[in-house]
Structure 1
């Protein structure tokens, strides 16, 4: 007897059994009425799928007939069960259909692929409770933002011309829009993480995920909270520091995506600055009070259409300013733009410099201008902490900035 036939027959029964067992356990734990099939039924479905594919080598169209018959049986099972159940979904029936296909895959493809699909099916089936939790958290506006992200990335971006559209060669719509997608995409990830996990899990979690959205917003919010919870100044400083550490990593990712050659001079400085900062954060953690207060930070959804358009205008203006400064004033003009832009937002200036370093701007000038922008942004956040918070919190935060950003800047200067 063919050993491959025996192997695949056994494997189809095992894979079907696993899927059916998950369906049985699901009905037991949720105290639901038993569905049309369990472990044995799904084993037979997978086995039938394999046999149908195997017989198709001897009987033409056998697999197509078997697949159609299986579909009709599943439709009949759904109709019968729906008559006796107040709430009836279609997950089990569609899972049975996929199980039939998994069995057939054992004949048409490698067994590893069938096992891989089975693991995906089991993973998705076990997500139901989590998905229901997320449905309560994610709003209609968040879903609209996700759709807008897909539209911006896969519809608008490909049709934009990758060339300057003005006589002076300053405005490249494709380059501007890819920056918008990158920054808003990173921010959107952090925003969704906070929506799902919640910022009320504590100061550290809020700072860590909030840094993906806006480290400036984290610094302002936590600085205000020190007036209510002064005894937790170290905890609040830790949250601000974590957000700023994410900002440094985020800057590295942005440079790498736009200009991989330029990021090579920043990898070691970012690593040293981040590790030095985390050393100070660890010291704050071990010397702070073990009390955790909820930290709600209001973030705007980064994929609002108006916000995306404003972001595009900011990026376009920054690109134009840097190009004109480099063309008519020289390096000092670029540094001045970096200093002023960094106060408000570090993303626009970093991405603009990274892009222009591939298109005429001296990489050395871009390198030093990025340093100026990050330092400028850091001092701007420190000023916000001093203005909205207390002097004790400010001392803790400025110490972190001197250690982390100082180590980053010094290493970047020495290495270039």
Structure 2
């Protein structure tokens, strides 16, 4: 490692300390001189101390009798000094908190990591630490407003994501590519996340805007999953609040609009040569669904009353929906295997029962050997099939009013897209 890189690493250690120090100093900026345990200078030097300890550790090399002793020794001294001064400040102000001591330890550790380890990780850790400190008021306010059912759902979601998912096998089971257990769990996590985000959006923004925003966010992940999840919720709210069905329909339609827009970007990135043939039909369909969703949400906003909120998501229902969509995807792959390349259009339609992205990626992979018109038609059929499938899912799993709105939005969007495609072909 040359001197230039060493200077960069030490500079990063100092920068991490300075970033944390700015937040700590700003928070206690009104304190008189000498009443503050540590501010921008102290935390900058703590970060620098971590970097210097890392440099000393590197200079000793593999010949050191006790590897890591220098870094640990500095850490112990800094932790003891900070703890003593924080205790004296706490006694004087009758305000007890261990945050500054922990922040000092983390700042020192990140400074040492910047010199001895991965600079990207150290930089990301420093940014995360500064953001966490700056978000104290937001986090405290969120905890005060949080309900037990929300906390429980968040814990379940985090457990599924960071504890359960990593240990689930990723090898497919069965023929035709089989069913991947990890993909099944990931789909369940996706559905639960969509429901949870929608719940938080409704609670924060109100029913009309919340469902609209939640649906749009869900459309970025999976418009099919969002439609199925919102359909399930429409049955729950229909019994005690019919107005909630309308806002949920607005969210599902918004998810469809975002999905169409995402498909346009995906085609542009992977199959740009096909985009000119699909841009106008997909763009017009997106506009129709966006306007429909906006009008539904505006109509709901004018209605009085707010929807009562229950559970952010029911794990059993989420698991059933994930299993259903996985089964549809498996059947689509099996049919695709039988149709082969000769049945590209039929295979695209069947695959789109669960997802459009897979069809777009597959068709893009077959270019440029595939005829452009055939490629555009395959993607177009997949888009239309997926939109119709979501309308069918809305009728199968949702309340009637919800399904009618999704169907009408789909009908108008598909009609506008086909009309634009015919007009474009005629020109």
The TM-score by the shorter chain falls in which range?
A: 0.5 to 0.7
Q: Structure 1: how far apart are the matches of 2:122 and 2:47?
A: 11
Does residue 404 of the first structure (1) align with residue 419 of the second (2)?
A: no
1:311 to 300, 322, 333: 322
TM-superposed CA distance for 1:14, in Å, is: 6.4
Question: 1:16-415 residue pairs with structure 2 within 5 A?
Answer: 16-26=17-27, 36-53=37-54, 64-65=69-70, 67-75=72-80, 77-78=82-83, 81=86, 88-104=96-112, 117-135=125-143, 136-137=146-147, 138-151=150-163, 153-158=165-170, 160-161=171-172, 165=174, 169=175, 172-174=178-180, 178=183, 180-199=184-203, 201-202=205-206, 203-210=208-215, 212=218, 213=226, 214-217=229-232, 240-250=249-259, 268=279, 269-281=281-293, 293-296=305-308, 298=310, 301=313, 304=315, 307-308=318-319, 311-312=322-323, 315-316=326-327, 319-320=330-331, 323=334, 348=354, 368=381, 371-378=384-391, 381=394, 387-388=400-401, 400-408=409-417
Closer, same or farther in 2 for the Cα pair 1:121/1:227, shift >3 Å? closer
Change beyond 3 A, Cα 1:171–1:122: closer
How far apart are residue 305 of structure 1 and its match? 6.2
Aligned 8 A contact 1:199 1:206 in 2: no
Q: Mark the CA change 1:185 to 1:216 in structure 2 (over 3 Å): closer, same or farther.
A: same
Offset, 1:77 = 3.8
Spell out, residue by residue over 1:104-147, the C-alpha distance to the aligned partner (whole angstroms, 9 max, x if none).
56766899987665433211222333334444354224312332
The number of residues matched between the two structures is 381
Q: Deviations over 1:350-393 (max 9, x none)?
A: 689889999xxx9878964663452253267479999448xxx9
Give the distance between the partners of 1:40 and 1:238, measured in 2 at CA: 52
Q: What per-residue deviation string (whole Å, max 9, x for no partner) do you get for residues 284-318 of structure 1?
A: 7789976775344656626x367436633653366
Q: How has the CA–CA distance of structure 1 residues 105 and 380 changed in structure 2, closer, same or farther, with 3 Å as cutoff?
A: closer
Q: Distance between the aligned counterparts of 1:57 and 1:313, measured in 2? A: 55
Q: Which residue of 1 aligns with 2:223?
A: none
Instruction: Quickly say closer, same or farther: Cα 1:171–1:207, change in 2 above 3 A.
Output: same
Please report the TM-score for the alignment, with normalisation by the length of structure 2: 0.61
> Is the contact made by 1:52 and 1:66 (CA closer than 8 Å) also made in structure 2?
yes
| CA gap 1:226/1:199 in 2 versus in 1, 3 angstroms | same
Task: Give how far 1:199 is off.
Answer: 3.5
TM-score by length of 1: 0.63
Q: d(CA) in 2 for partners of 1:185 and 1:125?
A: 29
> 1:128–1:156: structure 2 CA closer, same or farther, 3 Å change rule?
same
d(CA) in 1 for partners of 2:307, 2:385: 31
Q: Cα deviations across residues 229-279 of structure 1 (Å, max 9, x unaligned)? A: 9xxxxxx8576234213135448869979xx78xx7897454432123224
1:232 is aligned to none
**Residues 92, 282 of structure 1: alpha-carbon distance in 2 compared, 3 angstrom cutoff:** same
Change (3 A) 1:65 1:376: closer
Contact 1:53–1:108 at 8 Å: present in 2 too? yes
Flag structure 1 segments of 5+ consecutive residues without an equivalent: 230-235
Structure 2: give runs of 5+ residues left out of the alignment. 219-225, 365-373
Against the structure 1 CA distance between its residues 316 and 356, is the aligned structure 2 distance closer, same or farther, given a 3 Å change threshold? farther
